[in-house]
Structure 1
Amino acid sequence: MRIMLVDDEKLSIVQMKMMLEKLEDIVIVGTYLDAMEAIQAVRDLRPDVVFLDISMPVMNGLQAGIHIQNELPDIEIVFVTAYDNYAIQAFELNALDYLLKPVHNERLHKTIERLRSRIQSGAAATDLAKEEGGRVCFFQNIRFQQPGREPELIKWRTNKAQELFAYLFHYRNQIVRKDSLLELLWSGIEERKASQQLYTTIYQARRTLKEMSGEVIQIQNARLTEGYKLYWRNVAFDVSEWEGKLDALEPLHAGNVQDYEQVLADYEGGYLADYDYAWAQAEQDRLRWLWITHTVKLSDYYLAQGLREDAIRVQLHMQRVDPLIEESYFNLMKLYTAIHHPVGMEEQYRSLTAILEQQLDTVPSEEVTEWYLAHRS
């Protein structure tokens, strides 16, 4: 285990170094009295763990921990201090442990065992992800799917961390500049304070991603500019998968109708639909339009083949996934009328009227209302 020690008191570093070097498989890769020097060194030394004193001049250990983790996302941090009133702040930053000075051998041994366990479990998660991959879902909400399991909601530490990750995914093939993130998430806040909030949020998002996927999804610093970029390997994204399947479809015929059905089913809801992200609206609308066009094409095919029940099934599916598509209600009104099911037609008009009033404070279009009045019993 490679360990770096950072403390402005030289005697504290000497004592901690002596205690650690008595343990097996411990290598001290660097000792620093200045937090800024330690931050610059972690990228080259790449320690597994940093023991950080909290009470240091210029930059305290809590601030330094955020910067260190931004440089090396996988690093483990143990805070060390003579004062226990920092404990809550330390654990908000997801530190592995918190040691009070003077540090005793028995307490230090427990910390080392926790570190070994965390590092081994992290390596195992990474190996699993490398071998089998994973899948991130953005239809409806943000979930992660381990191989052989159902997708699960990702438990973000804050809403800011969640939106930051979603925004980096949205621009996943680009570098997102720091000032863009500050404007998005902390508009109107003084720049120094906003920057500190950004570093904390990057830290939180990285910890969540590591716990979720090992190291296969990372937020990396852009070295040539002040910004960040999402990096991944051997991970699938449901949005990209879905659009790829859609683009690969040949003209619809009896031999590939099941492929069309699969694309229909794979669209589980609007892009990031559970979140009120204004910046995602254009992409949400684009994907929704592609899905509606695909659904109508499949429904029209079934109608042309005289398969009205299948056409009804497809329109009902559209309605369940996106209840605000007026066209699905109108199409079902026509289909139920064609199969002499007036109750079904009436129910569709009433449902449309109710959903439009509740959600949009409006009424069905003039075309739909006129058709309904002309065909009602």
Structure 2
Amino acid sequence: MITTAQTMVQLMNEQRYEETVWSMERILMDGGSVSLELVDQLPNTWVCKSALLLQLQGGHCAYKGELAEAYALLKQAVQGFARMGLQLMMLDSMAQLAAVCLRIGEWQDAQTLLKFLHMEWERKESFVGGKVLHVLARGSYLIDTLKGEDSAYKEAEGLFIQAGANLCCMQLYADRLLDPISDISELELERIGINAEQKSRLDPTLYTWGQFIKGLIHSRREQWEQAITAFSTVKSDELSYEYAALYWIRRIEAELLTEREIDDTLWNQLNRLEAALSSDMPIQLQVCGIRYLQAKWRGSRIDADRLHIKLQAWLELVNNSSYSAWITQWESRLRAQNVTKPNTDRSWNISCFGTLTFINADIEVKNVKWKRKKALELFVYLLIQPDLSAPKERAMEVLLQQVDADKMNNQLYVIIHQLKQTLKQELRMESAIVIKDGTLSFNKQLLGQVDLVNYHNLTRMGDQAWGTDYELAVDFYNQAKQLYGDLIPELHYVDWLEAYRESLVDKQVGILRKMALYYSTQDKRELAEVYYGQWIEIRPLEEEGYQAFVEFLISTGRESEARRWYGKWEQVCRKELGWVPFSEMSKMVYGGSSTGVVEDETI
């Protein structure tokens, strides 16, 4: 027996596209499903003639986080249904379009759509589906005339239950629970929990949704351990991109509020979704928010201040009081934790880039009174070592550089004693330096975040991702780049430290080189130029950065700018280096050609 799907494949193979579209539309109108793979095989001109197929594709794009494509497809679907006078389908597709507009920041379009949908709901002259009421509840903050979004949520839930749309019902529960200003009583929480659990038992495909909702209910009750237990059973790949990102945000939130250190794998999952949902403004806001709150929890004032500015910009752009309430709730919880947590139990975060700074909650210490310069040198030497430890013999050789081993040994013990005394008196660090089995190490329990360590970790993760996941790699590199600066500039004329600083410059150049290359291949010229410029700024006397930038400018047809930058390099050569530049770049600028790709690097 030939199946309907086989019939449609046969019709397409015979290029009988009109009949194929009719068959697909008939299945959809009867409440059935059509394979998107089959729809994608249709010529675009035929898909554009069917509002139903446009709506199907638009909904799938929204599910995958391809919001620009979803916006365009759903807009066409709305127009198609309007032309045909199919009121219910038009309203459903308008609801989907409004939901996408709320995510991409098309506020004017969203407001217009929501006002029309609200008017249709109030008229009660025609049936309004659950999707309409759901999006009205989500977008209620944009419509002054809509009061009591909870009633819209409840009416939408009733319509979803009546239609047997259990997945839509689960999504609605999640949205209610995720809204911090939504007024949900304990009785209502219990009812939602029972309903979600029952639906997930009857339909195994909804198990992940049931656990997600269970975790959100525990979060509402501030039962963070129980929330983590529920969240740990969620399979995020069974959720849409939007809800998967919200799941990771709320899981990390629960982990932070139980004072756990967040595993890199959790952040990696969120970073991937953040990159995939780059046009989803509420998600970007919440990712920024969770990073800001993590910085606050760790006491990383420098990171927190930087992220706070970014977060305020997002809050202004999105202009939804729910997110402001979420951040406010978080900050009040953190303040409560800090009040009840003894100061001696909290570790010090250390900023090495820029003036050496120690941060503990709201305390910031600069200009520590080191008893001797060698005590500071030993402290910095241990900070830059892998695992914050080094063989005692090696430390003596680097710091003291003397022939007499006994004399060096005695001097080192004096320096260690002075360093321990300084850290105890200035920062109340007890037993900060440990000597065991011939190894000097820092007591890690006294340390929180060290920006230098974070810089190396982020760079390492970027290097690991480069070549397989360029977007993720660039995200890690961008975070590392923002940490970089002059390493402890108050410590001058120390040979081993100068060598280490040079290695950091090389690492930063590598980051800028890859980011410039990445954005040049993504047709984001402005960003590529920024990173080429920063590369030249930190290596102003080296030819490689100038040559790479000149190649890029020539590849994009800007020969006059290429000549201007070559002229700058000529001036550097004559005035700073005292020699005439080689002819290779000159030939490139005044008559050669270029691929526009940095040598030995491809994407």
In the superposition, the TM-score normalised over structure 1's length comes to 0.51
**Equivalent of residue 230 in structure 1, options 419, 442, 446:** 442
* Maintained 8 Å contact 1:162/1:205: yes
* Maintained 8 Å contact 1:221/1:228: yes
Once residues 524 and 534 of structure 2 are traced to their aligned partners in structure 1, the CA distance between those partners, rounded to angstroms, is 16
Give the SS at the match of 2:370.
coil
Shift of 1:313: 0.9
1:308 corresponds to 2:525: yes
Change (3 A) 1:149 1:327: farther
Give the SS at the match of 2:387.
coil
1:22-37 aligned within 5 A: none
Shift of 1:312: 0.3
> Could you say which residue in structure 2 is the equivalent of 1:128?
343
| Larger RCO (CA under 8 A, 6+ residues apart) | 1
Give the SS at the match of 1:248.
helix
**Equivalent of residue 243 in structure 1, options 433, 438, 456:** 456
Shift of 1:190: 5.2
* Maintained 8 Å contact 1:178/1:228: yes
Structure having the larger proportion of residues in helix: 2
Once residues 333 and 274 of structure 1 are traced to their aligned partners in structure 2, the CA distance between those partners, rounded to angstroms, is 36
Shift of 1:242: 2.0
* Maintained 8 Å contact 1:271/1:287: no
1:1-377 aligned within 5 A: 127-128=342-343, 130-131=345-346, 133-139=347-353, 142-147=356-361, 152=366, 155-171=369-385, 173=387, 176-188=390-402, 194-215=408-429, 218-222=432-436, 224-225=437-438, 228-233=440-445, 234-249=447-462, 250=465, 251-252=468-469, 258-269=475-486, 275-279=492-496, 287-337=504-554, 338=556, 340=558, 342=560, 344-353=561-570, 355=572, 364-374=581-591
> Identity of paired residues, percent?
20
Write the letter of the residue equivalent to 1:230: F
Residue correspondences, number = 247
Change (3 A) 1:259 1:333: same
Change (3 A) 1:295 1:186: closer
Shift of 1:195: 4.4
Give the SS at the match of 1:173.
helix
Shift of 1:144: 3.3
Once residues 580 and 362 of structure 2 are traced to their aligned partners in structure 1, the CA distance between those partners, rounded to angstroms, is 45
RMSD of aligned alpha carbons: 4.2
* Maintained 8 Å contact 1:134/1:144: yes
Write the letter of the residue equivalent to 2:343: L
* Maintained 8 Å contact 1:168/1:176: yes
Once residues 260 and 319 of structure 1 are traced to their aligned partners in structure 2, the CA distance between those partners, rounded to angstroms, is 18
Select between 280-289 and 295-304 the one with higher mean Cα deviation: 280-289
Shift of 1:137: 3.5
Give the SS at the match of 2:434.
strand
Shift of 1:352: 3.4
Change (3 A) 1:193 1:130: same
| Residues 273-306 of structure 1: per-residue CA shift (max 9 Å, x gap) | 9755544577656554443333222212221222
- Any gaps of 5 or more consecutive residues in structure 1? 1-123
Change (3 A) 1:313 1:177: closer
* Maintained 8 Å contact 1:330/1:368: yes
Larger Rg: 2
In the superposition, the TM-score normalised over structure 2's length comes to 0.34
* Maintained 8 Å contact 2:382/2:441: yes
Give the SS at the match of 1:301.
helix
Change (3 A) 1:319 1:186: same
Once residues 386 and 470 of structure 2 are traced to their aligned partners in structure 1, the CA distance between those partners, rounded to angstroms, is 35
Once residues 567 and 370 of structure 2 are traced to their aligned partners in structure 1, the CA distance between those partners, rounded to angstroms, is 40
Change (3 A) 1:197 1:216: closer
Write the letter of the residue equivalent to 2:345: K
Shift of 1:311: 0.6
Once residues 201 and 282 of structure 1 are traced to their aligned partners in structure 2, the CA distance between those partners, rounded to angstroms, is 22
* Maintained 8 Å contact 1:206/1:218: yes
| Residues 60-91 of structure 1: per-residue CA shift (max 9 Å, x gap) | xxxxxxxxxxxxxxxxxxxxxxxxxxxxxxxx
| Residues 217-262 of structure 1: per-residue CA shift (max 9 Å, x gap) | 811232x44x532222242222321232234344455688555432
Once residues 353 and 144 of structure 1 are traced to their aligned partners in structure 2, the CA distance between those partners, rounded to angstroms, is 44
Give the SS at the match of 1:332.
helix
| Residues 104-160 of structure 1: per-residue CA shift (max 9 Å, x gap) | xxxxxxxxxxxxxxxxxxxx9x943633x3332344774434446788465534332
Shift of 1:161: 1.9
* Maintained 8 Å contact 1:161/1:201: yes
Write the letter of the residue equivalent to 1:136: I
Change (3 A) 1:322 1:159: farther
| Residues 164-184 of structure 1: per-residue CA shift (max 9 Å, x gap) | 222223335376454444433
Give the SS at the match of 2:401.
coil
